[in-house]
Structures are given as C-alpha cells and as structure tokens.
Amino acid sequence: MFSQKHDILNKTNFWWVFTKRNINFEPGKGKEIMKIQYKGFMRERIRRNPVTIDPDASFFKARDYIHAMGIRHLPVVDKNNRLVGIVTDRDIREAAPSDATSLSVHELSDLLEKLKVSAFMTPKEKLITITPDTLIEEAVQLMHDHKIGCLPVLEGGKLYGIFTETDALDLLVDVFGFKEKGTRLTIALEDKPGTMLGVLEILEKHKVNVISIVSPSFMVEGKRVAAIRIKTEEYKPVVKNLEKAGYTVLSIGKWSPT
C-alpha cells in the first residue's frame, strides 16, 4: 500500500500523522480503488446526543445528572435544542452552600430546590463553540490554548454534540495505534522532503504493515523524530536494515492493547 504513496511522500515536507482508519478497498476494473471516507472533521468523531438539561431545571436535577451519569459537562438547551449555556461539575460545587452555613438542612434543601440552572451555569456568550466541520486538530488546539475541558458543537444554532477532553485523549490513543498489538520504533530523521521514503521502502521490503506514524514538530539535536508503530513483533530484521541504511533507531517499545 505504501508504494502508491512514495511519489507523494517524496515531494512533501515531513510533518504529518498517518493512521490506518476508515479506509475501504473496493474492486475496480482490473485494479483496486481506494475509497477514504474519513476527512478529519469533528462530525466524524463527535459525541452525538449528549445528556442535556433545561435552564429552568433545579440545582438538584443538574447535580443528580452529573453524579449519576459520571459526566463533567452538561449542556443547557431550550425547548428547540438551542444551546443557552453549560453546567460543569465545578459549577455544581461552587453553587452549593458552604459547610459553614448557618442554614438548617430544610432551609438549604428549599433554597437549592428553587435555584435554577440558569442562575449558575456558564452562559453561551462565554463559551467557545465549534461546528461539525471544524478540523479535529483545531478543536484540540482550542481546548489546549483556552484550558477548557469541553467544546459544544453547534449546527444552525442548535446543539449537534460535544467534544470533551476525554474524547481528545481517545483520539490520541487512536492516532498512536495503542489499540493494536505491535512494535513502536522511534527513529531520528533528517528534516527534509523524502526522508520518510527510505523507511517505508524498508518496511515494504519486510512486508510489514504500518499501524501509525506520528512526528511531533520539535527537533532533537537538529533532527526530527518519528514514532512508527508496525504490525509485527519480529522487529529485529527491520531495525537491522534501518540502521544499515543510516537511520538512527532511538528506542524500541513492544506492548499489547489492554
């Protein structure tokens, strides 16, 4: 499969992530036709139909939803499913009276029963939102830059879904190919077009399939680093050929998915 990509790889800069996902091969007339359905947009990774709550619901109802369902972000929507705010587990803690309060248990219960979600939620105007057509990496960047744990996803003003920090971690696990048994080779490479070509040719020579390739943007002693997960435990011949070709194999890691 990689031989079809060699010309492209040879002409492009080396900063990319490759992961074998959502690729179908269909028989064509005399050749294989590759149909890739994955485009990298949020709508393909989004958590649809999240638990929501009405702005007029009570504090107790919001607290019970968050605790019972083990969630940390509760979108607040009106009757037309339009986002009006969000309630987090932190909002619940901050809205609850202090242990030092002089109110009786009955008085506290009555007070919190009358406290509406709209009174302690974070309003929509203060939220950062995205659309289903936002690129996944842009969504993760927004969460990182603004130090937030959830992005409501809106389409036509209505709630389409949410993307949380847990979803971002799930994506990272998927990108690195952690769920597939294999071997990770960490390789130092020259930062120039076509450098990856030789690595792929060696893997092709050994009939080794690639689970994922990840290269961060930082440099190590003037070289780029690539973490390549290959679908084999017989890595020694591959490493021997890589080093013979002049590549520096920095580390080797083996593990099975849990």
Poorest-confidence range of 51-65, 76-90, 107-121, 232-246?
A: 107-121
- Crossing angle of helices 136-146 and 165-175, in 10° steps, is 130
Q: Tell me the average pLDDT of the chain.
A: 82
Closest by CA position to 14, among listed 212, 195, 142? 195
pLDDT in tens, 214-233: 888 888 888 999 999 999 98
* 227 vs 47, residue with greater confidence: 227
Confidence band for 101, pLDDT divided at 50, 70 and 90: low
Could you tell me if 164 and 73 are in contact, meaning their C-beta atoms sit under 8 angstroms apart?
yes
More confident residue, 252 or 176: 252
| CATH architecture under which domain 3-20+180-255 falls | 2-Layer Sandwich (3.30)
Using the structure block, give the residue that is written with the tokens 């040719």: 201
The pLDDT assigned to 172 comes to 84
* pTM of full prediction above 0.75: no
Region of poorest pLDDT, from 61-70, 214-223, 240-249: 214-223
Instruction: Find tokens 């080779």 and name the residue.
Output: 185
pLDDT in tens, 67-80: 999 999 999 999 99
Tokens (6 digits) for 172: 């990272």
Domain residue spans of the chain: 3-20+180-255, 49-127
Region 102-118 average pLDDT? 73
pLDDT band at residue 181 using 50, 70 and 90 as cut-offs: confident
CATH classification for the domain delimited by 49-127, as one of 3.10.580.10, 3.20.20.70, 3.30.1490.20, 3.90.1150.10: 3.10.580.10
Distance of alpha carbon 53 from alpha carbon 73, whole angstroms: 11
Q: Any residues with CB less than 8 A from the CB of 90 and at least 6 apart, and which?
A: none
> What's the confidence (pLDDT) of residue 171?
84
Residues 28-37 pLDDT 10s: 444 445 555 5
- Extract the tokens encoding 181: 């048994």
pLDDT average, residue stretch 52-70: 94
